[in-house]
A = this chain, B = another copy of it.
């Protein structure tokens, strides 16, 4: 049964729907965040291609957004006001996706994250490379690597 009670993920989902209309068209939802790993899902129908599997463009967009959302939430949890952009994106498509799309991104180890945050404080901008994974069911279907840049407000 769908849970319609307020969720701590409501604000990020409202933000994405409002600020990134394509995420709404794709049906993307942030479904979990434990302070370390974020999970996003999207139904297949709006993201279908001519072979009735997921469009590569949808997979790339979901991979980009998984890394973006991870950084967004990690910085929000630390109350760091910033602006995030992507500089480079790479996707390897490993197998077709014929189910709901699910993407996860996990925070880097503490020294890497600490270096990023320290550089951001010192230089007011910092870059970080973040992998994300896109699954069909339990199977890895694509890997994404994004190079993101954050600017302090």
Interface residues of A (CB under 8 A from B): 15, 19-22, 25-26, 45-51, 55-58, 60-62, 64-65, 68, 83, 85-93, 96
Contacts and interface: CB of A to CB of B under 8 A. Distances in A.
B88 A89 contact: no
Please state the number of chain copies in the assembly. 2
B65 A57 contact: yes
Nearest to A56: B86
A60 B57 CA distance: 6
B22 A26 contact: yes
A86 B90 CA distance: 12
A56 B25 CA distance: 15
Given A20-B55, A61-B61, 13 more contacts: A19-B49, A20-B48, A21-B46, A50-B83, A56-B68, A57-B57, A57-B61, A58-B61, A60-B60, A60-B89, A85-B93, A87-B93, A88-B93
Contact of A90 (B22, B45, B85, B89): B89
